[in-house]
Amino acid sequence: ADTVLRGLDAVDTFGAVVEAEPALGTRMDEVAFDEALRAIADFVDLKSPYTLGHARAVAELADAAATRLGMTGDEVALVRRAALVHAFGKLSVSNAILDKPPPLGTGERERLRLIPYVTQRMLRQSPALAPLALVAVQVGERLDGSGYPGGLVGAAICREARVLAAADVY
């Protein structure tokens, strides 16, 4: 077992996959990147019939709000892209919970509250997606500290995440 398992903890699995597949090293332009994010967001939204089109709708609303607030083009793109990926973590939640009518039990609510955290864990491995993870993980935070997953307060929540959270709630 020592021979077979030696070094497994030291392997950067994401990097190893990218190195093993030359096509994964290909760079996308901004348009292709947005198209890829929309396609994956659509796929994630298919998990539950209650969320079909949710990521795209949140992205459009967040984009419009960020533009109206006078955010820079890069900031608007960050908000829009973070909106597309903000719920990737729901892939880790059973449909028995996602599709269950309220009220949810304490454990079920906790599973839902983990969605931003799991999203961040999924995205942080990629240098291209890590900036989106920093915004998406804050989608459940609230200015008074009652949010999740970190219980952040006020200015600790970035402006982009505030725009995203408002669009998501709306």
Catalytic residue positions, numbered: 90
Q: CB atoms < 10 A from the CB of 154, how many? A: 10
Q: What's the start-to-end Cα distance of the chain, in Å?
A: 53
**What is the 3-class SS of 12-52, one letter each residue?**
CHHHHHHHHCHHHHCCCCHHHHHHHHHHHHHHHHCCCHHHC
Contacts of 152 (CB under 8 A, 6+ apart): 138, 141, 145
Show Cβ contacts of residue 8 under 8 Å, excluding neighbours closer than 6 positions.
none
Tell me if 122 sits within 8 A of 132, measured CB to CB. Answer: no
Q: For the chain, give the longest Cα–Cα distance.
A: 59
The total number of residues written for the chain in this structure: 170
